[in-house]
Amino acid sequence: MTYHAINFAHKLSLFREHWQPKVIAEMNDYQFKLVRIHGDFIWHDHKETDETFIVLEGVLRLDFCDGAVQLSPGEMFVVPRGVQHKPYAASALPRATSGCDCRKPIKSGVEANWLRRG
């Protein structure tokens, strides 16, 4: 039988739009998603599940009510269930957002986002 690896770069080449996660694999009742991000997402939480972020390109900032964490390629973070957070990736121009004191230019991000399905 022929088996094929899932290649992140290839999958990313298949779409350009931001904030529209694409499911690239499933494991039990979880989905692995790739998403391109740019600017702010909305504040939200997930009542029933933790959420994992891994950055492939660019820089992702996750804002929390009491701080923030910045992720570069090769870095991950798990947001616990019920914790309000707001993903953000800056464009080439600085952009100020609430709860953020990071104003240096950073690139748009490409993020692998893993979340329980449903």
Beta strand 51-57 pairing with 60-64: unpaired
Nearer to its own copies, 73 or 94 (CB): 73
Residue 70 binds its own copies, judged by CB under 8 A: yes
Residue 118 binds its own copies, judged by CB under 8 A: no
Residue 111 binds its own copies, judged by CB under 8 A: no
| 27 close to 67: Cβ distance less than 8 angstroms | no
Q: Which residues partner with 109 through β-bridges?
A: 37
**Which amino acid is residue 26, in one-letter code?**
E
Beta strand 67-71 pairing with 60-64: antiparallel
Pick out residues in 20-59 that bind its own copies (CB under 8 A).
24-28, 30, 32, 49-52, 56
Give the separation between CA 113 and CA 20, rounded to whole angstroms: 11
Nearer to its own copies, 44 or 75 (CB): 75
- With CB under 8 A as the contact rule, the residue among 15, 78, 105, 107 that binds its own copies is 78
| 18 close to 34: Cβ distance less than 8 angstroms | no
Residue 77 binds its own copies, judged by CB under 8 A: yes
Nearer to its own copies, 80 or 94 (CB): 80
- First CA to last CA across the chain, in angstroms? 31
Q: Which residues bind its own copies (CB under 8 A)?
A: 1-9, 24-28, 30, 32, 49-52, 56, 62, 64, 66-72, 74-78, 81, 114, 116
